[in-house]
Structure 1
Amino acid sequence: MLLATCSSIASAEGWQLHGFGDISVKNDYVTPRGLVVTTEGVTVQVLNGLVAVSPGGVAFHAGTWVDINPGYSRADGNITAVNEFDYFFGVDFDIVPKLNVGVEYSEFISGQPSVAFKNEHNIEFHAKYKDSADKGYTINPYAKLFWAAWGKSSTVVLGKAGDTFDVEIGMVPTLKTGGITLSAPTWITVGPETYWGTGPNKDGNLGVFSTGLKVATPLPFAAGAGANIYAFAQYYNLINDALLTSKGILNSGANNRDHVVFGAGIGFGF
């Protein structure tokens, strides 16, 4: 999942406590793994949580995320605007300067379990390289292993339910100029073909390719806190046919392999 945290640098005095949050409005909801969940109405997503940083720089975080879909499609079997609620907690730290590793547990909970997915329990591991902060342009490469550990539903509809995984390989090229920050989140997912589809729905080991552009600028805020507003567009190419089939199942037969999500939001932290 997308997690924006505050600084993980600990002070000499002891533990630090930070908070983070994000509210965004989008045209559609597409997961990082390429599942096109909604295309009708709008999508409102709310993230919030806390980070506790030890004197040694180990950061423990926990939070919640919710997806709300005003204008949801009844024709596709939806019965409420509350589409999904997730909670998560994890830990991360720098194993060497600039290289951060971590692990996070999350549970995906449907807002309409009688017609949608059953609870999905996941564990995600990451490694992220952080370029020098004093450089105007950074690449920020990373890798994530998303383990759909257990559950009675697939996280991409047609794949194996539990005990499967995919790997996200990406980067977030970022340019800071004046009061504007430009970033281009880009990634591709790979994994066992049964992650995306089983039986006749198997279609290789590639999942989705995505790239986009985000423009952010800071907002004046109270001392000790920060905020930014942003707008973005993110392109998805559904490489795996099982993802394309799942898109049609959830969205009245939609079958375009290319999909663009655009929106705006505000992020904040203290």
Structure 2
Amino acid sequence: MKHLSKIQRCLAAAGLVASFALAIADPGIAVAADLQAPDVPASDVPYVKAPPSTPSSDIHGFFDMTFGNDYSTSRGLLVTNTGLAPQALAGLSFDLYKNANSMLNKVSVYGGISNEFWTEQHDPKVGSWNEFDWFVGAKVAFLQDWSASIEYDEFLSPPGGFLTERHLNVTVAYDDTSWGLPIAFKPYVRFWDELDGSPDVVTGVSGGSSDSYYFEFGMVPTLDLKKYGANVVLTAPTWVSVGPSSYWNRGITGCGLATTTCALSNAGVFSTGLTATAPLTFMPASYGKWYVKGGFQYYNLLNDSLRLAQTFTGTATSYADAHKDYAVGFVGFGFTF
């Protein structure tokens, strides 16, 4: 396969990280406590069988339903800007290994699906069903605050708007919550590689090309307002993307007149936003942890080709009318268990 070497490089890197983490893992030693009171003969101590402990579940699930006024990908492609864009996300994760006292803290695998809809799409066969995605991955938590994950996904277009896109991405993240600062910044870096399919941003190279990848540098600043008397968590997802200039433009003209070339750039998009999430405490714990959310995400297009791409998706009639920046508002609800 022409993409085999790219997959091998990603898997080899992930395998080395996992192998190192497993090699340094400490299985831990359980120490029994002395339950006998001082100066009391053992024969005088009544035997009471300890109640069995309830182990925490190794299977977790999640569901999220979001209603947005627009739909934009994290790469800065404005897909729709009319009607509503509901999105349903669901999945499961399985903990394969857990040890809070070792250098390797957790190993888990996960998978899920996502469905995007667009109320202004009236396809005769699929109606408002705009996109279907599925994904599988593995995640390793280590050194208490670090994590690394590798994920494979596919994006499909029910109405036939694009060829199936296949991606592989690797993420390394650090959780600084243990620092005790009022705000945890939670930085991360992500490598995204399109293995096959239509270009991620329409005007760029197709999947499987030598330049069909980019890097994302981001953070998720988090403030828990519970300490201030409000049962709300604020997050501000923020990132910037960089990659080969041809990832954003393979030579497509039209940044102005039809024959005007676009200024090439290695930068893609800068995005930041604010999300407020509040738990639904009236829901029984046996039904999972429910929540409601609301917020916005702002996008500033650093690459002119992303503005040109709007003329292909139908969110702009011409390059002159294309949006240099925009914001997507949303509300939603969901649960985890």
Instruction: Return the TM-score normalized by structure 2.
Output: 0.71
| Residue of structure 2 aligned with 1:208, choices 266, 269, 286 | 269
What does residue 236 of structure 2 align with? 184
Aligned 1:1-270 pairs, distance under 5 A: 16-56=58-98, 57-72=106-121, 80-113=127-160, 116-132=161-177, 135=180, 136-151=182-197, 153-163=198-208, 164-178=212-226, 179-200=231-252, 203-220=264-281, 221-224=283-286, 225-250=288-313, 251-253=315-317, 254-270=321-337
Question: Which stretch shifts more, 248-257 or 16-25?
Answer: 248-257
- Once superposed, which parts of structure 1, at least 4 consecutive aligned residues long, lie more than 4 Å away? 11-15
Higher strand residue share = 1
Question: Contact (CA 8 Å) 1:25, 1:42: kept in 2 or not?
Answer: yes
Tell me how far 1:15 sits from its aligned partner: 6.8
Q: 1:20 is aligned with what amino acid?
A: F
Deviation at 1:132, TM superposition (A): 2.4
Cα-Cα RMSD: 2.2
Shift in CA distance, 98/211, structure 1 to aligned 2, threshold 3 Å: same
Task: Return 13-22 or 135-144, whichever deviates more.
Answer: 13-22
Q: Distance in 1 between matches of 2:147 and 2:326?
A: 31
Higher relative contact order (CA 8 A, sep 6+): 1
AA in 2 matched with 1:87: W
Q: Does the aligned pair in 1 maintain the 2:135–2:151 contact within 8 Å?
A: yes
- Residues 84 and 97 of structure 1: CA distance in aligned 2, closer, same or farther (over 3 Å): same
Q: CA deviation at 1:137?
A: 1.9
Q: C-alpha deviations, 1:57-87, integer Å up to 9, x for none?
A: 211000000100012388xxx9841110000
Point out where structure 1 has 5 or more consecutive residues left out of the alignment. Answer: 1-10
Identical amino acids, percent of aligned pairs: 34
Structure number, greater radius of gyration: 2
CA distance in 1, matches of 2:300, 2:316: 19
Residue of structure 1 in register with 2:15 after alignment: none
Output one character per residue of 1:89-123: Cα deviation in whole Å (capped at 9) or x when no partner.
Answer: 0000113221100000000000211xx11001100
What is the identity, as a one-letter code, of the residue corresponding to 1:177? L
Higher percent of residues as helix: 2
Secondary structure of the 1:207 match is strand
Pair 41,150 (structure 1): closer, same or farther in 2 beyond 3 Å: same
Secondary structure of the structure 2 residue equivalent to 1:55: strand
* Deviation at residue 255 of structure 1 after TM alignment: 0.6
Task: Verify the 8 A CA contact 1:24 1:45 in the aligned structure 2.
Answer: yes
Q: Distance in 1 between matches of 2:312 and 2:122?
A: 12
Gapped regions of structure 2 (runs ≥ 5): 1-52, 99-105, 254-261
* Distance in 1 separating the partners of 2:155 and 2:88: 14
SS of 1:143's equivalent in the other structure is strand
Name the count of aligned residue pairs.
Answer: 254
